[in-house]
Amino acid sequence: MILDGGMGRELQRIGAPFQQPEWSAQALLEAPHCVSQVHRSFIDAGADIITTNAYAILPFHIGDQRFMAQGPQLVKQAAMLARECADGSTGVLVAGCIPPVLGSYRPDLFSVEQAQPLLEVLINNQVHDVDFWLAETISSIEEAAMIKARTMSTGKPTWISFTVKDDATGDSSLRSGESVFDAVTHIAGQHVCAILFNCSCAEVMKTALQHAKLALLSLGLEQDVRLGVYANNFPPIGDKPQANSIEGLSAIRDDLTPATYRDFALSWIEAGASIIGGCCGVSPEHIQSLAELRSPVAVVI
């Protein structure tokens, strides 16, 4: 199965309204047709799944007042745009984006009490237009567990995607420092039918997959829970910076070409991934190169 690529940087690339701190929400506010254009570009490139443009519809990006006044409608609009684009093509599914609501790469900022009201807005206003949930760039077991508990009541499957540290060592851990093995052991199963890794360097994803596969084997869930990867196109990011920070945009690598990214994807498939795509800075051209690897199987969740 092929996921889409990075919405925010593709909006910037096509000349859509784009600024910090609004990030990908700016186009939703000013030029929603650009959001649809990006969705269609990824579908045309071969994506089986498009993700709603809800990642930046949070107080961190659009401010508390605007979130209170416009947040629910913006989330609903993001889901409706994705649904409309998916329905225009055969077999394309819509993933309901659930971002880290208190800040990307910052598990130290997470609080269940502060996060739950924001999570409610995201879920309640997407639930009717999405096929399943994709919680992405999740940095801690605690946040993943909160999302798992809440999405269970919707009756829709949930995919949890963790972001891992960019250190290319033999270990693999979340940004929180918790091990990938422990994270998968705690979260996989029940209605969580896929574990993925995203918004980390391509070089560290194979190790994360290997540790996740070991955890699934220990749980006896290797046949029930799928694995996937959608890496970013950034240089390694340390422990302290926050993704999409107002201080500036992360640089895009010039060495991670569509062909190079496809080579990484082949290693992920060999390590057990059956879902591949791209995160920040991964373009429709990258996704097209991944679609060429597709096996002729039915798309199911």
Q: For residue 296, is pLDDT > 90?
A: no
* Residues 133, 82: Cα–Cα separation, whole Å: 13
Q: What residue ranges define each of the domains in the chain, with the CATH number in brackets?
A: 7-291 (3.20.20.330)
**Maximal C-alpha separation, the chain:** 49
Distances (CA, A) of 142 to 43, 193, 208, 214: 33, 18, 19, 21
For residue range 212-271, list pLDDT tens digits in order.
Answer: 999 999 999 999 999 999 999 988 876 655 554 445 677 889 999 999 999 999 999 999
Residue owning tokens 């046949």: 223
DSSP letters, 10-73, are HHHHTT---BTTTBTHHHHHH-HHHHHHHHHHHHHHT-SEEE-S-TT-SHHHH-HHHHHHHHHH
* Residues 219, 269: Cα–Cα separation, whole Å: 21
Which alpha helices (H) appear in the chain, and where do they start and end? 7-13, 25-30, 32-45, 59-62, 64-87, 112-124, 141-151, 180-187, 205-219, 258-270, 284-291
For 128, the 3-state DSSP assignment is coil
Q: What is the DSSP letter of 192?
A: E
Phi, psi of 59 (to 5 degrees): -55, -35
Q: For residue 22, is pLDDT > 50?
A: yes
14's tokens: 């096509």
pLDDT of residue 35: 98
**String of b and e for 131-154 (b: at least 16 CB within 10 Å)?**
bbbbbbbbbbbbbbbbbbebbeeb
pLDDT of residue 31: 98
27's tokens: 């186009």
Q: How many CA atoms lie within 13 A of 93 on its CB side?
A: 18
Q: What is the DSSP letter of 203?
A: G
Amino acid identity of residue 152, one-letter, is M
* Residues 14, 16: Cα–Cα separation, whole Å: 6
For residue range 118-127, list pLDDT tens digits in order.
Answer: 999 999 999 9
Per the prediction, the chain carries an average pLDDT of 94
pLDDT of residue 170: 76
Q: What is the mean pLDDT of residues 26-52?
A: 98
Q: For residue 10, is pLDDT > 70?
A: yes
pLDDT of residue 271: 97
pLDDT of residue 81: 98
Q: What is the mean pLDDT of residues 56-79?
A: 97
Compute how many other C-beta atoms are within 10 angstroms of the C-beta atom of residue 32. 17
Mention every residue, 6+ apart, whose C-beta is less than 8 A from residue 286: 5, 233, 258, 261, 262, 278
Q: Report the DSSP pairing between strands 192-198 and 132-138.
A: unpaired
Q: For residue 29, is pLDDT > 70?
A: yes
pLDDT of residue 96: 98
Q: How many residues does the chain have?
A: 301
- pLDDT band of residue 27 (cuts 50, 70, 90) is very high
- pLDDT band of residue 295 (cuts 50, 70, 90) is low
For residue range 44-58, list pLDDT tens digits in order.
Answer: 999 999 999 999 999
pLDDT of residue 132: 98
Q: For residue 298, is pLDDT > 50?
A: no
- Which of 12, 119, 133 has the alpha carbon at shortest distance from 71? 119
Q: For residue 301, is pLDDT > 90?
A: no
Amino acid identity of residue 121, one-letter, is V
pLDDT of residue 247: 52
31's tokens: 């030029």
For residue range 140-149, list pLDDT tens digits in order.
Answer: 999 999 999 9
Q: For residue 8, is pLDDT > 60?
A: yes
